[in-house]
Structure 1
Amino acid sequence: MQDLELLQDGLTLMALGMGVVFVFLTILVISVTLMSKLIGRFQPVPAAVDTSKKASPSSPPAAQNDEVMAVISAAVHRYRSARRR
């Protein structure tokens, strides 16, 4: 009889724990959904960006690119030669 009571108590405790987790996750999903809708409603509309302006050149001069390429090549060569030993 005691084993049956322990099994029943265990199943009751498991159902209670799973129920608490289910309720918590349900409340969490609902609250996140509501917050998302509220933020979407009250967030100001972003200002339009004027794309007609001339953009400044984002790439550095070619001489600097060559120098960077040489430094990277030297570093890779040194790393590979050190790893072979």
Structure 2
Amino acid sequence: MLAPKAFLDALSGHASRLFNGETPVPRSEFETQFKALLQSGFSKLDLVSREEFDSQMAVLARTRARLEALEAKMAELEEKASGTEKAE
């Protein structure tokens, strides 16, 4: 995984070569090459889509709610168990 600074430096270098090359690059070709460069760089940064992020946040929220419910149930059962032990 590239550090953000290294990624930006590499991106800057590639863009500079495209702009300042020996022969001018047509705009459409530049856009194609630049898009490929960005996709390559982003794939090295281990990014996730917003959709995947939101999906994982929903899973986390459900898991957290379930954990809190189980903790409450456990506390209730422990309280009942300690009450039963005292009664005996």
Q: Is the TM-score greater than 0.5? A: no
Sort the TM-score into its range (normalised by shorter chain). 0.3 to 0.5
The structure where helix makes up a greater share of residues is 2
Q: TM-score, normalised by structure 1?
A: 0.44
Q: TM-score, normalised by structure 2?
A: 0.42
